[in-house]
Structure 1
Amino acid sequence: MKALIHQVFGIFSRQERFRLLGLVTLMLLGAWVEVLGIGLVIPFLGILNNPALIHENPVLRWLYTFLGIQSEVRFMIFSTCALVLVFIVKNGVLAILYFSQAGFVVSKEVSLSSDLLTRYLAAPYALHLDRNSADLIRTVTTDVSRVTTGFLQPMLILVTELLVLAMIAALLIYINPLIALLVGAMMSTIGLFLMRYFKAALSEYRHDSRRFGIQAQKWASQALGALKEVKVFRAESYFNSAYESNIHGYSKGVRVFTFLSQTPRLVVETLAVSSMLLLVVAILSQEGDVRNIVPLLAVFALAAIRIMPSVTRIIAAIISLRFCRPALDSVTRDLLLPQRASGDSQEAVVEMDATPETLDSAVGFEGVWYRHPGMEQWILKDVSFHIARGECLAVVGHSGAGKSTLADLLLGLLEPDFGKVIVAGVDTGDIGLNSRIHIGYVPQHPYVLDESVRRNVAFGVSDEQIDDARVWQALDMARFGDKVRSMENGLNTEVGERGVKLSGGERQRLSIARALYFDPPIVVFDEATSSLDQHTEREINDTISGLAGSKTLIVVTHRLAAAARCDRIVFLERGSIRAEGKFETLYESCPTFRSMVGAAQ
């Protein structure tokens, strides 16, 4: 329990803890006005049943004299209005409490989901290699929702209702200790029995429900993401079957949770009615005259009406806390991720942004070794080379040679286990690299936003900060400007989800324009032409060649047509540099490269 409390409070900031303290104070006030409303019923019903109590009770007699009321009927009218006012104030306080609780929970859901997304984006790229995006999306959305509405809100409800129950119990004990203790013991016994049963039932389903939910979301995402392949290969039934098997497992857990959440009301209602009937019997056996027990019975009945939903809410809250505990574990685990990438201080970014043109755009690998975390096999082994300002270098090799890993290291997405990667005169291991300023990146399969051409080129820039002149300049450098000008809506043309309204070559040119928008001195092309036809490939290679000299270019490819245009080639084989030099030199001196050229012809 101590660990759970520490875990829950760990998700709150200092300011949120003060807000929580204010909520607890409001809960105490709410519990007090609840009891006040119930407690005032006794004297009110007493004077209705026996007006003589106005003169016999010292408090009522003083109030009667102080107010100067001349008749018992007027005093009873005043008492009625006063009791109505008390209940209005009570419900007003409770309304403020519920509104404050809802606002606290909703604001925490917003801050939690935003915080998690920030941490995922700032996390090392290696984390995303090990975890499925559906898992991360579910944590940001479903798990955060369960933590707030399924854990935090029930926790607040639990505290509120326990305070109310405690004060009502104190009032009933003051009125009739024996009966109150008997009823309390009976309800506590039933409550403990239910919780013991529910705990066993929930432990079987709560973890399975989350696991099946993640898998269901993953299969749905894969089915829609690969829609074209799904239709072509007629794999609809395969993906439907995989999704349905997991969603059934998820729904089974939700069904059990929903059933257990509703069951306490039935049990508590039966228990309350039985307790009230037993109370009538017990009081009659003590008092004998039924008229003497009407006010007392009314108070116990009113208390029971208020206690029944409280007990139901308490049990339902505890069930929800147990069921949503795995979501809390998932969220608190990922909240340990750093909010900012290692070494990426704001001061350093500002300094590097201020004078990008003064930095040397040379790139260097110095004795770099790399392997994925948990793997024994090295992907890159003692890789060393340098690129001069304005040079065009091709990194060539067969599939699995380590080309894309080299590009990821260059981009600062991965960090070498040994050695250094130097970009713009800076060791990427010493300081976070603002790659938008210093490196442009064109991947094999660029992610095209379901937005306008303008927003796709100025990737990650708010609308009010987009410079249209720079957008057009980038499009023209990518040899895509004339095509966009011919479109009816120009820069405002919507390109569709993943750029479905564009051809493969147009998507690639859009990606090149995106890489050039920030005018970086270094541009990396990672297999940028490998999925294009020969005609389009030749056009894209012409575009790349047009950038030579003004930019430092790194062309990662296994397509030798692109490599032949570069100033120099680094030939990778099994993670090591096998040969380095101009195309003709490698063709003459390296048999493996020569055989690769022969296979491509």
Structure 2
Amino acid sequence: MSSPDPRAQSTLKIYLRLLGYVRPYAGMFVMSIVGFLIFASAQPILAYILKYFVDGLSNPEASLFPNNPYLGHLQLLQAVPLMIVIIAVWQGIGSFIGNYLLAKVSLGLIHDLRVALFNKLLALPSRYYDNHNSGHIISRITFNVTMVTGAATDAIKVVFREGLTVVFLFISLVWMNWKLTLVMLAILPLIALMVSSSSKKFRKQSKRIQSAMGDVTHVASETVQGFRVVRSFGGEEYEENRFRVASQSNTDRQLKMNRTGSVYTPMLQLVTYTGMAIVMFLVLYLRGDSSAGELVAYITMAGLLPKPIRQLSEVSSTIQKGVAGAESIFEQLDEDNEVDQGTVNIAKVSGRLEVQHLSFTYPGTEQPVLDDISFVVEAGQMVALVGRSGSGKSTLAALVPRFYQHAHGQILLDDTPIQDFTLRNLRQHIALVNQQVTLFNDTVANNIAYGDLAGAPLEDIQAAAQQAYADEFIVKMPNGYHTLVGENGVLLSGGQRQRLAIARALLKNAPVLILDEATSALDTESERHIQDALDSVMNNRTTLVIAHRLSTIEKADLILVMDQGRIVERGTHAQLLEMNGYYARLHARQFKDDDAVPHSVEVC
């Protein structure tokens, strides 16, 4: 005896897990099935009424219930039309209950899946975003979920409505003539074999379609976000070709799936109608003592079977699309959350930061990015990290708020390992300003007072903006602090976006401040004003400055010179110049022409 197909088991497992999301809507789900039961029960009754119609052609005054003393007067002339109307009403009620309630269940299920998927994105570690492009991530929430909608809505509706219709029709056919019905049952194994074969193809093709759709979304997303670069460097033709290739790939895969369905459906229909032809031959050949009405009713019921059987067979492609979509969704939902095993929650820390023998290698790579890093920053002090690109400065900054998990060495905040803090509590003590500013399509005030800062008084927001030298351009905007900034602050200049990000960090008022090239997008005048603000803000705050400008580097309590993941020199600005080593050479090379504009060049 052969073992079950593992792929079939996987499909069933995924689909059952998908249906597990229906549990909160169990009541409506059961009622929708009752509605489809009502609808399906009307099909054979409607066909059986034809028996009375045909019999009534020869004697319309005949009684419908000749042996019933109460209904014996009801003639076929009145009864047949009346029964047709009653059955139509009965069928309509069942159809409404089934379709409407199942739609509510399905839409609720899709909403729950989308929310679960989006919430999972907020809990995934940084390495997940490093390894997956944004187009495929967004495609899961949009396109893949619509595939699940088909499996959860259309498929279930067809399975129950048409499936119950087939069951009722078969029961009625067996009751009327079981011998003829056995002939029709003989074709079922062939139908099952065809459905099984096509299901495997639909599943494989659906996964390829979803992957291709992710590529389409990715290309479109990149082009929209980088439209200025595209236009500046004449990339229109390149992007047109790139999008055309991605879209054509998706189209070709869609066509291939449609071709499979277009071949499969007529073949199944041929098999079904061949069985029908054999049955009709036997009815004509072996009519026996059955009345004309009974034969017409039987043939009509048998004739009603191909349509629901065909729809049941076609639902396989819908289910396989949904299962493929659900599989990709569950893959993301099953990803491990950001590691958070900490239990320490401290209301306020002084900000003393100590790094002990820290080494770090990105997952999936072999070359260490940080190698045996050690230093101490006392509360309120400022440490500056300088070095060429790729020396590990930004990685070190990312490890402090645990955007990545280090395995070797320790990072201590107030003598407590940062792994012991809960992630939320740790990050409440840290304010971060990156070179790449992220703003949301919201008001200026809401972008400054974001997340835990939401609901901050407008006076505090304005004070932070004034410190960041942002108030001077905010008050000139159409609606001041209530002006929408556009997607990622598209309506603002680079310097303005950077100042809003600094204002956000100032409003947070955290004891640890990380500035990762925080003033790189500012002009000289704006930088000078912000530098004055940062000088006052850095008081009583532990500040980690990465590749900052000369004025900040000179004032740092400690400068760490990094190269290839190691600290090659350390000391104050004056001490490092006296060493006449790596830092002195870097300083001489980058600031040899600095007499005219001493504060306009970055250390990188």
Same fold by TM (over 0.5)? yes
Larger mean Cα displacement after TM superposition, 435-444 or 364-373 = 435-444
Larger mean Cα displacement after TM superposition, 382-391 or 394-403 = 382-391
Distance in 2 (alpha carbons) for counterparts of 1:362 and 1:26: 62
- Alpha carbons of 1:447 and 1:125: their partners in 2 closer, same or farther (altered >3 Å)? same
Aligned: 1:9 with 2:7: no
Distance in 1 (alpha carbons) for counterparts of 2:239 and 2:188: 49
- Alpha carbons of 1:384 and 1:70: their partners in 2 closer, same or farther (altered >3 Å)? same
TM-score by length of 1: 0.87
Structure 1 contact 569–581 (Cα < 8 Å) conserved: yes
The offset of 1:88, in angstroms, is: 1.4
Deviations 1:144-167 (A, max 9, x none): 221232466424533443333123
Partner residue, 2:293: 294
Say which SS state the counterpart of residue 517 (structure 1) adopts: helix
Distance in 1 (alpha carbons) for counterparts of 2:317 and 2:138: 25
Aligned: 1:418 with 2:411: no
Partner residue, 1:145: 146
Partner residue, 2:545: 555
Structure 2 contact 443–483 (Cα < 8 Å) conserved: yes
Partner residue, 1:506: 496
Structure 1 contact 119–335 (Cα < 8 Å) conserved: yes
Matches within 5 A, 1:160-199: 160-186=161-187, 189=190, 192-193=193-194, 196=197, 198-199=198-199
The offset of 1:202, in angstroms, is: 3.7
Partner residue, 2:478: 488
TM-score by length of 2: 0.86
Structure 2 contact 139–214 (Cα < 8 Å) conserved: yes
Distance in 1 (alpha carbons) for counterparts of 2:80 and 2:275: 30
Partner residue, 2:110: 109
Say which SS state the counterpart of residue 374 (structure 1) adopts: coil
Aligned: 1:209 with 2:209: yes
Matches within 5 A, 1:225-374: 225-261=225-261, 266=266, 279-287=279-287, 292-302=291-301, 304-305=303-304, 307-338=305-336, 342-343=340-341, 352=346, 355-356=347-348, 359-374=349-364
Match of 1:39 among 45, 52, 59: 45
The offset of 1:132, in angstroms, is: 1.2
Distance in 1 (alpha carbons) for counterparts of 2:18 and 2:287: 55
Deviations 1:520-573 (A, max 9, x none): 222211111234444444443333223121433221116434311323222222
Larger mean Cα displacement after TM superposition, 295-304 or 135-144 = 295-304
Amino acid at match of 1:543: A
Structure 1 contact 32–167 (Cα < 8 Å) conserved: no
Partner residue, 2:377: 387
Larger mean Cα displacement after TM superposition, 570-579 or 528-537 = 528-537
Partner residue, 2:432: 441
Amino acid at match of 2:432: Y
Question: Greater helix percent: which structure?
Answer: 1
Figure out how many residues of one structure are paired with residues of the other and give that number: 582
Amino acid at match of 1:179: L
Distance in 1 (alpha carbons) for counterparts of 2:100 and 2:262: 24
Structure 2 contact 513–544 (Cα < 8 Å) conserved: yes
Unmatched 5+ residue regions in structure 1? none
Amino acid at match of 1:126: R
Distance in 2 (alpha carbons) for counterparts of 1:327 and 1:40: 39
Deviations 1:261-293 (A, max 9, x none): 46666556666666656544432322379x923
Distance in 2 (alpha carbons) for counterparts of 1:499 and 1:37: 60
Partner residue, 1:408: 398
Deviations 1:326-367 (A, max 9, x none): 32221111111356752378xx6xx55xx33xx222222222
The offset of 1:46, in angstroms, is: 2.5
Distance in 2 (alpha carbons) for counterparts of 1:530 and 1:97: 61
- Alpha carbons of 1:486 and 1:249: their partners in 2 closer, same or farther (altered >3 Å)? closer
Unmatched 5+ residue regions in structure 2? 1-7, 592-604
Distance in 2 (alpha carbons) for counterparts of 1:453 and 1:425: 37
TM-align CA RMSD: 3.2
Structure 1 contact 37–87 (Cα < 8 Å) conserved: no
Say which SS state the counterpart of residue 431 (structure 2) adopts: strand
Distance in 1 (alpha carbons) for counterparts of 2:158 and 2:506: 54
- Alpha carbons of 1:494 and 1:26: their partners in 2 closer, same or farther (altered >3 Å)? closer
The offset of 1:513, in angstroms, is: 0.9
Distance in 1 (alpha carbons) for counterparts of 2:298 and 2:458: 74
Distance in 1 (alpha carbons) for counterparts of 2:302 and 2:29: 24
Larger mean Cα displacement after TM superposition, 333-342 or 132-141 = 333-342
Amino acid at match of 1:208: R
Partner residue, 1:517: 507
Distance in 2 (alpha carbons) for counterparts of 1:551 and 1:109: 46
Aligned: 1:450 with 2:457: no
Partner residue, 1:591: 581
Distance in 1 (alpha carbons) for counterparts of 2:489 and 2:356: 39
Amino acid at match of 1:317: V
